A and B are shown apart, each in its own frame.
Chain A
Amino acid sequence: MGYDMTMEISALNEIFVEFYYWITVPLMFLIHVGFCLYEVSISRAKNHIHTLMKNAMLIPMVTITMFLFGFWIYFAGQGPFGDFAGGSTGLPWDATMGSNFGDHIMGVFWAAFLLFSWTAASIVSGAVIERIRTGAFLILAVLVGSVTWMIDAAWGWSAGGWMVTDWGYHDAYASGVIHGICGGAALGILAVLGPRIGKFAPDGTPRDIPPQNPWLAVIGLFIIYTGFWGFYAACNVPIIEFDGVWTATTIYGTPTTLSTITFNFLMSLAGGLMAGYYMSKGDSFWTFSGGLGGIIAASAGNDLYHPLQAFLIGIVGVWVAYKLHYWVERKFKIDDAVGAVAVHGYAGSFGVIICGFMLWGYPALADGSATITPWGQIGGAIIMFFVLGFIPTYIVAKILNAMGILRIPKEVEIAGLDYVENQASAAAGQEIVNAELAETNASSSL
């Protein structure tokens, strides 16, 4: 009986790829852990539990809707408009969307996209804390996590998407397709939701609402950095034969190396941290947010940049994001509690645009049929931030506001979203104290 080594290598390769994507999922889970920690720490003590539950409950809402229709949108949206190119792929009754021995990988791909979806909704969650109703937020989370980001991924984050094939759009590690759109989505909601009570003085001057626990907030950001490695890994095809060479490729099928993305992830993080520290004069929140912003700004082209280019882009991206954050806050009275619009939206959009100049003329697809250009990237940034980011959430937030279910009542906002829980907890605590006192008195009277 002959020994078929080719078949064995092919099987090993398949198992390696399955395991590779599978391991990115728990790594990306850390992003959500970090977001919860960060968001709760930024909120004031009177709002902690509500803030945590709002973010935690996006997990089941986005998960079930990603299973029901979100993943289908990704496949269906990759062809010309209305073509539904993917057919039944990704529909909940498709054979691959279940436990099926004929397909070993679809659930892992789905999970990788799903964790991106949680991140997308979680980015929005931080910006709107301390005054949005959970029910309204969960509707908006489904909109961003299972609909709009899946449309943008179909258009601009697949080799078959029209933005890639027609415009040469390039966004290897999702500066625009995750961060740009979510920053825009957060801004759309904030424009309708309004600022927290007391955020602006009567003359319009913004007031600082300090984080309840600054050091815990930065631990949250540290954990997000860790999870971000899983995100980067999930954006790659780890090993594939390309023109006779075994290599990693981007989601567009264009070659890169793990060495390149490792260099660039860390160098853009370093640039962002330095810029954040410089701009904020050592403020811990902005320094750590700057690290995240640095990675986000360089992510669109981190498959190809030189490490020092990634470093410089990280610096400039954070400078742009920081300046824009305070300009928009003063000019439009936007209260972005965690700087999400800046770190994700502005840094991400800057990253998409600068990539068009840095990689001008590079092939956007493996077969060279599309080319990266500044105008393709500028158009892409507009689609991500405004068309699929800002506009849909602005419209839905307007509708929810008209229904009276967007913002919490003023009295509750002032008393605190955890008012009922805190009152019950205080009453329960007092009851125990009373019982202990009664026991002490009874013992001493014996």
Chain B
Amino acid sequence: MSTGLESWTPVKEVAALSPFSGGEVLLTIIAVVLWIGWQIWQIKSENSSYDEQVAKLR
């Protein structure tokens, strides 16, 4: 059982070092969702924070 590499020899035949090689497209999709989701969350959070501040300051 191995998530990737089982032997370091012959080293010239070693390619991907990371585990679960072949899952890069799925990882990319997850990263895109996280990136866009984080930006949307940040803007919403900032908007609500400013709304509260404006209400206090008025």
Contact = CB atoms under 8 A, between A and B. Distances in A.
A95 interface: yes
A282 interface: no
B25 interface: yes
B28 A93 contact: yes
Contact of B32 (A68, A136, A420): A68
B28 A92 contact: yes
Given A100-B17, A420-B53, A135 B46 contact: yes
Contact of B35 (A64, A134, A136, A419): A64
Contacts, number: 71
A68 B35 contact: yes
A412 interface: yes
A257 interface: no
Contacts of A99: 16-18
Given A100-B17, A412-B50, A138 B28 contact: no
Given A134-B42, A135-B46, A64 B24 contact: no
Nearest to B45: A135
Nearest to B14: A101
Q: Which of under 10, 10 to 19, 20 to 34, or 35 or more describes the interface residues of B?
A: 20 to 34
Contact of B39 (A61, A67, A98, A409): A61
A398 interface: no
The dominant DSSP class at the A interface is helix
Contact of A101 (B15, B32, B47, B58): B15
Contacts of B16: 95, 98-101
A154 B28 CA distance: 23
A134 B42 CA distance: 8
B49 A420 contact: yes
Nearest to B44: A135
A102 B15 contact: yes
A65 B11 CA distance: 32
A409 B31 contact: no
A420 B51 CA distance: 12
Given A93-B25, A99-B18, A411-B57, A68 B31 contact: yes
A408 interface: yes
Contacts of A68: 28, 31-32, 35
A405 B15 CA distance: 46
Nearest to B55: A411
Interface in A400-446: 405, 408-409, 411-412, 415, 419-420
A411 B54 CA distance: 6
Contacts of A135: 39, 42-43, 46-47
Contacts of A391: none
A104 B11 CA distance: 14
B15 A65 contact: no
Contacts of A133: 43, 46, 50
Nearest to B21: A98
A325 B5 CA distance: 58
Contacts of B57: 411-412, 415, 419
A139 interface: yes
Contacts of B58: 411
Nearest to B42: A135
Nearest to B12: A101
A65 B42 CA distance: 16
B11 to A, nearest CB: 7
A420 B54 CA distance: 11
Contacts of B11: 101
B18 A409 contact: no
A61 B16 CA distance: 26
Contacts of A93: 24-25, 27-28
Contacts of B28: 68, 92-93
Contacts of B46: 133-135
The 3 closest A-B pairs by CB, nearest first: A93-B24, A135-B43, A99-B17
Interface of A: 61, 64-65, 67-68, 92-93, 95, 98-102, 133-136, 138-139, 405, 408-409, 411-412, 415, 419-420
18 contacts: A68-B28, A68-B31, A68-B35, A92-B28, A92-B31, A93-B24, A98-B17, A99-B17, A100-B15, A136-B43, A138-B39, A139-B39, A409-B53, A411-B53, A412-B53, A412-B57, A415-B53, A420-B49
Given A95-B15, A135-B42, A139-B39, 15 more contacts: A64-B35, A67-B31, A68-B28, A68-B31, A68-B35, A92-B24, A92-B28, A98-B16, A99-B16, A100-B17, A133-B46, A135-B39, A135-B43, A136-B43, A411-B57
